[in-house]
Amino acid sequence: MKLNAIVWIGALITAISLPAWAQETHCQAQEQIIFSCSFGKKMVSVCASRDFSVSNGYMQYRFGPRGALELVFPALTETADSARFIQARTMMFAGGGGGYLRFINGNYHYIVYTAIGKGWGAKDGVAIEKDQQLMANLACQDVPISKLSEEFFTHAGLPIDQTEFLIPDTD
């Protein structure tokens, strides 16, 4: 009985002491977490190399259950022309603001966002568009990890999204 209790306590301590990224993101320890949140059994993460900029490193959109990715975009984790695939924008609202990243994969766009506004509160998640029509909007079920900000977008040299994204369910 004592051995089982010791094993159980050891397992609990190990689980509690795991780094936050091990439980909350698809990103690897050597990557920076740009955005990550859970939808229950699935999650979305935007992961980047530590040296990411529009001309250096990489940034990827990753979606699926923990340990079983369903979509990774762009596929390469090496320096690529990020401006072709990724755009960013900050937003201003009465009593708040926000930011988002748009990942462009042909006719499909994956938009991770975080925002807060007077009258509707905090909204975080991922919207999926096809041919500029909203196909799905998945709201985060937890508080997201997020670096989405003007400072990050400028430092990374990301182009400004010209197709302004409107956060669903904010009217």
Enter the tokens of residue 109.
């766009």
Alpha helices in the chain (DSSP H): 2-17, 20-24, 150-156
Query: Distances in Å between the alpha carbon of 126 and those of 37, 87, 168?
Result: 9, 14, 10
7 pLDDT band (50/70/90 cuts)?
Answer: very low
What are the residue ranges spanned by the domains of the chain? 2-156
What is residue 83's three-state secondary structure?
helix
Q: What is the mean pLDDT of residues 149-161?
A: 91
Whether residue 10 is predicted with pLDDT greater than 60 in this model: the reply is no
> What's the pTM value of the predicted model, to 2 decimals?
0.83
Nearest Cα residue to 128 out of 42, 23, 18:
42
Judge whether 32 and 50 are in contact, CB under 8 Å. yes
More reliable by pLDDT, 3 or 103: 103
| Percentage of the chain exceeding pLDDT 90 | 53
pLDDT band at 75; cut points 50, 70, 90: confident
β-strands 108-117, 42-49 pairing: unpaired
Between CA 164 and CA 89 the distance in angstroms is 8
Kindly report the average pLDDT of the chain as a whole number: 83
